[in-house]
Homo-oligomer: A and B are copies of this chain.
């Protein structure tokens, strides 16, 4: 509230302790200093409640211990967990996190990147959607789920393996004829591989499969039209569905119930992401779980490691299946 007395500086501490400025600096940074001096300086620091000014530090060292995280928003379950885990991974290394929600807006993404540059952050972790994003070569950058170029490490789940795993699970659970449902396909990114993986898995397991892929902007109603076209005498042609996200699975399940079909008795559904109700309760549906914590940890590692070491262009982390009530439990459950 009152801004009366400015925060104490090293100079104040030095005066208080009766030592030189440099000595205080050394004590603060843990450099060797005579015990007698150290004691006095520490007492002065305590007395004045001195705190180093990290802006002055940053100016000097050209290092700020701050990382910017660019992400569309913080309330989509996958994003919200990612943010949390990134925060933890950064905190562990004494780094601070500047959170930037972009709302999927390309210009906001670019604006934040510029802001981050002039803010002299030590690096940027971005889950972005702008296809024409310009990222400087001179600031460490790691992307999630979207490959931006050979010099920019990209971390993602093993989406291909996840699609494959979904197909295998459905086969294991007794499905014979399945479908893949997906929305928004215009942007090239890692999650797109879910389809290919699923297709691969279906072929390997000799599952009949169909795809229904909506273009950007098409309404979810298209799925209902699609499903109804495969409904004969109250029975669906499919006994298994793989939805590209848990969120889509949620809509599809509601749809199926409106159509008088029971999940999982009539048709089993598997989603993708590993979304939990209320963030930490049970899984919203049976799902392929993304290793969020590992993704976050790896992003931070890659971002902060010496430039000397090799930076892999793309790392895919293993996913796993989790039961969430929309598949038929079998013995392996």
Q: A54-B118, A84-B101, A98-B98 are in contact. Are A75 and B77 (CB under 8 A)?
A: yes
**Segment among A57-65, A156-164, A207-215 that sits at the interface with chain B:** A57-65
In the complex, chain B residues whose CB is within 8 Å of the CB of A279: 73, 75-77, 80
In the complex, chain B residues whose CB is within 8 Å of the CB of A119: 54-55, 96
Contact-residue bracket for chain A: 35 or more
Name the residue on B nearest A251 (C-beta).
Answer: B281
| A6 interfacial by beta-carbon distance below 8 Å | yes
Q: Contact partner of A247 among B73, B275, B281, CB < 8 A? A: B281
In the complex, chain B residues whose CB is within 8 Å of the CB of A76: 278-280
In the complex, chain B residues whose CB is within 8 Å of the CB of A138: 1-5, 7
Contact A284 B278 (CB under 8 A): yes
In the complex, chain B residues whose CB is within 8 Å of the CB of A124: none
| A74 interfacial by beta-carbon distance below 8 Å | yes
In whole Å, how far is A45's beta carbon from the nearest beta carbon of chain B?
A: 12
Contact A280 B74 (CB under 8 A): no
A130 to B256, CA, bound (A): 47
In the complex, chain B residues whose CB is within 8 Å of the CB of A33: none
Greatest chain B CB density within 10 A among A54, A99, A277, A311 is at: A99
Per-residue B-contact encoding for A1-28, CB less than 8 Å = 1, 0 else: 1111111000000000000000000000
In whole Å, how far is A59's beta carbon from the nearest beta carbon of chain B?
A: 5
List 16 other contacts, CB 8 Å, given A51-B118, A246-B278: A1-B151, A3-B307, A51-B114, A54-B118, A55-B64, A55-B120, A74-B80, A75-B81, A75-B279, A76-B278, A77-B279, A83-B83, A87-B99, A247-B278, A247-B281, A250-B281
Between-chain CB contacts (< 8 Å), 22 pairs: A2-B138, A3-B138, A51-B118, A53-B59, A55-B58, A55-B119, A73-B279, A74-B74, A74-B83, A75-B77, A75-B83, A75-B84, A76-B279, A87-B99, A87-B101, A97-B100, A99-B99, A246-B278, A275-B278, A277-B277, A277-B284, A278-B284
4 A-B pairs with least C-beta separation: A51-B118, A75-B279, A80-B80, A99-B99
